[in-house]
Chains A and B, each alone.
Chain A
Amino acid sequence: MKPLTLRLKTKPPCLVDAAALRPRALAGKPREDILRIALQGWNQSFAVGDLFTVSGEDAGRVVLEGLDGSLIRVGAELDAGELTVSGHAGDYAGEAMRAGTLIVRGQAGDYLGAEMRGGAITVSGNCGAFAGSGRAGAMKGMSGGSIVVRGSAGDRAGDRMRRGLMLVEGSVGSYCAARMLAGTIVALGHVGLQPGYLMRRGTIVLADARFEPLPTFNDNGRHELLAIRLLLESLAQYGPAFRRLARQRLFARWVGDLGAEGKGEILVAAA
């Protein structure tokens, strides 16, 4: 069976919540019912049939094509199946998802995977700010699952992150892992200013040595740590760039943020 494919045919005049287009929510629905599903915009709703052309049958694998960022919360609360997006996935993609797979072939906006608890998100391009963070006012960011960004991530990636894994092949913006509670962020590219600002626990691994620690981080020396080796070897499945990093043994370790609990660590690949 071909995946159930929804191709955007009409750009909506406002941002539209696309969380309803989840594989489990669409499973077993006849085509007519899918076309009638209402998607909420700012002050009006749109039927799926108004915005999309629909083809394919397999609702376990849903494809959203031609997105331009006008849809938000794509894959939000995803709980099973595979959702593939081509184009710009918009803000809040994969927000609060619990299981399943969200594949973005293109870009994602802000708050990618915000407060997600499980499942896997892969973005082939860049994502905006606050990836894996909490929504405004939330006490915790993502608490499980994985986010893999093949491009770069914006500022505040992993803000208040509680658990889970975030991998960024490109660079990450400023305040990466700010107020992080726990979890792991690995960035292969350059990291912006103030990484780990007020982080309590958790691990940031940086492959790029161009890194300026906050004054509230202490130099812990250079270490060859078995747990970090296990961690990096477990990332080999995410591609050759991470396999190369898995061969790195020696890391300069910075511990902090001593302005918070101080049990976090930033590991920088040492020459």
Chain B
Amino acid sequence: MSALGIDGVTVEDTFAEAFGMRATRLIITAANPGWARHAATTATGFATSVIACGCEAGIETILSPRETPDGRPGVSILLFAMSSKDLQKQLERRAGQCVLTCPTTAAYGGIAEDSAQDWLGLGRSLRYFGDGFQISKLIGGKRFWRIPVMDGEFVCEEKIGLVKGIGGGNFLILAKDQQAALAAAERAVAAMHKVPNVILPFPGGVVRSGSKVGSKYKALLASTNDAYCPTLVGLTRSSLPAGVGAVLEIVIDGLDAESIRLAMREGIQAACARGGERGVVAITAGNYGGKLGPHHFHLREVLA
């Protein structure tokens, strides 16, 4: 494969392969930014991969009071699942256990009505916690539920919009050692957090355990991506160029392809900035030969 380079870093001419998912945006507000953040962090916890978490979720952006429906500080989170049914289940559980429970919070849909391709119940399910004391209120054409809780009322929209999103956009940072890979990944994540409509669902936005489909063990759907493990060089068919001592992956889920493309560009450029002197060797991407996922993000096109 031919390659292009940025600041001394080789960018492989390959592509990231991504899949269609169902997605939604939840706006969480609270009396102050800290409590909004607590709720958002908890609601998006244990949501790195649909392989075992049920959904992929993350904080999209921090919202100022001017940007939220109730004029309070807020956080926007995105949730992705493989089906509408799965997403509904995860939304109910996460909003019910992590947002409803969090002091002073309220929850609103973040997908514009005209963009929504379907609807997910929010207050429609959570209202039953009110044990008959819940009150619905139609405000500005939207139905809200007021659920009595010990600090007052938990307010949430009855339903929130669902859209078709994309999960699994990715790129891999190949560096001379762990420290260089980590620094490059941190630069990339910081840059990508500024892009709207995307989340990086893994811890700190970074994955060290990139996976391949399948395993020698029948029970496992995925297993370690041995081709990119530096400690398996010489034991397996390695894809690592000489001099690579550590690889980190950044996975991107987004509401649309263009946002993923933009996030990948920002991330790759940040990772590669003075990358040659900082120990970054190459950038590549994970795919399955193009046969599984309908969305292909070619690194060359992304960076064009």
Tell me whether A229 is interfacial, beta carbon within 8 Å. yes
Task: Contact check, B135 vs A201: say whether CB atoms are below 8 A apart.
Answer: yes
In angstroms, Cα B140 to Cα A225, docked, is: 17
Task: Contact check, B146 vs A227: say whether CB atoms are below 8 A apart.
Answer: yes
Task: Contact check, A263 vs B135: say whether CB atoms are below 8 A apart.
Answer: yes
Tell me whether B28 is interfacial, beta carbon within 8 Å. no
**B70, B136, B137 pick with most chain A CB within 10 angstroms:** B137
Interface pairs (25), CB distance under 8 Å: A164-B138, A165-B138, A184-B138, A201-B135, A203-B137, A223-B152, A225-B146, A225-B152, A226-B70, A226-B106, A226-B153, A226-B155, A227-B137, A227-B153, A227-B155, A230-B69, A230-B70, A230-B139, A230-B140, A231-B137, A231-B139, A234-B139, A263-B133, A263-B135, A265-B135
Q: Output the least CB separation between A170 and chain B (Å).
A: 23
Question: Which residues of B (116-164) have their CB < 8 Å from a CB of A?
Answer: 133, 135-140, 144, 146, 152-153, 155
In angstroms, Cα B127 to Cα A227, docked, is: 14
Contacts of A117 in B (CB 8 A): none
**B70, B106, B139 pick with most chain A CB within 10 angstroms:** B139
Task: Contact check, B138 vs A227: say whether CB atoms are below 8 A apart.
Answer: no
In angstroms, Cα B146 to Cα A223, docked, is: 14
Given contacts A226-B153, A227-B144, A227-B153, contact A163 B138 (CB under 8 A): yes
Given contacts A163-B138, A230-B144, A234-B139, contact A225 B153 (CB under 8 A): yes
Contacts of B136 in A (CB 8 A): 182
What is the predominant secondary structure among interface residues of chain A facing chain B? mixed
Give the residue of A223, A227, A265 whose beta carbon is less than 8 angstroms from that of B139.
A227
Known A-B contacts: A225-B152, A263-B133. Give 14 more (CB < 8 A).
A163-B138, A182-B136, A184-B137, A201-B135, A203-B137, A225-B146, A227-B135, A227-B137, A227-B144, A227-B146, A229-B70, A230-B139, A233-B71, A234-B140
Contacts of B135 in A (CB 8 A): 201, 227, 263, 265
Contacts of A225 in B (CB 8 A): 146, 152-153
Count of chain A to chain B residue pairs whose CB atoms are closer than 8 Å in the complex: 40
Q: Output the least CB separation between A270 and chain B (Å).
A: 15
In angstroms, Cα B106 to Cα A184, docked, is: 21
Q: Output the least CB separation between A147 and chain B (Å).
A: 14
Contact bitstring A160-178, B, C-beta under 8 A = 1, else 0: 0001110000000000000
Contact bitstring A189-205, B, C-beta under 8 A = 1, else 0: 00000000000010100
Contacts of B153 in A (CB 8 A): 225-227
Q: Output the least CB separation between A237 and chain B (Å).
A: 9
Contacts of B140 in A (CB 8 A): 230, 234
In angstroms, Cα B137 to Cα A141, docked, is: 17
Report the nearest A residue to B31, measured CB to CB: A226
In angstroms, Cα B155 to Cα A134, docked, is: 30
Report the nearest B residue to A265, measured CB to CB: B135
Contacts of A184 in B (CB 8 A): 137-138
Contacts of A227 in B (CB 8 A): 135, 137, 139, 144, 146, 153, 155
Question: Which residues of A (22-60) have their CB < 8 Å from a CB of B?
Answer: none
Give 7 closest A-B pairs by Cβ, nearest first.
Answer: A234-B140, A227-B146, A227-B155, A226-B155, A231-B139, A234-B139, A230-B139
Contact bitstring A201-215, B, C-beta under 8 A = 1, else 0: 101000000000000
In angstroms, Cα B136 to Cα A265, docked, is: 12
Contacts of B155 in A (CB 8 A): 226-227, 230
Contacts of B144 in A (CB 8 A): 227, 230
Report the nearest A residue to B29, measured CB to CB: A226
Contacts of A230 in B (CB 8 A): 69-70, 139-140, 144, 155
Q: Output the least CB separation between B133 and chain A (Å).
A: 8
**B71, B136, B138, B144 pick with most chain A CB within 10 angstroms:** B138
Question: Which residues of B (180-228) have their CB < 8 Å from a CB of A?
Answer: none
In angstroms, Cα B139 to Cα A203, docked, is: 12
In angstroms, Cα B146 to Cα A182, docked, is: 14
Q: Output the least CB separation between B28 and chain A (Å).
A: 13
Contacts of A229 in B (CB 8 A): 70
Q: Output the least CB separation between B146 and chain A (Å).
A: 5
**A182, A184, A229, A230 pick with most chain B CB within 10 angstroms:** A230
In angstroms, Cα B71 to Cα A164, docked, is: 24
In angstroms, Cα B152 to Cα A223, docked, is: 8
**A201, A223, A227, A263 pick with most chain B CB within 10 angstroms:** A227
In angstroms, Cα B58 to Cα A244, docked, is: 39
Q: Output the least CB separation between A150 and chain B (Å).
A: 21
Contacts of B71 in A (CB 8 A): 233
Report the nearest B residue to A144, measured CB to CB: B138
Q: Output the least CB separation between A32 and chain B (Å).
A: 41
Question: Which residues of A (67-116) have their CB < 8 Å from a CB of B?
Answer: none
Q: Output the least CB separation between A201 and chain B (Å).
A: 7
Contacts of A234 in B (CB 8 A): 139-140
Report the nearest A residue to B135, measured CB to CB: A263
Contacts of B137 in A (CB 8 A): 184, 203, 227, 231
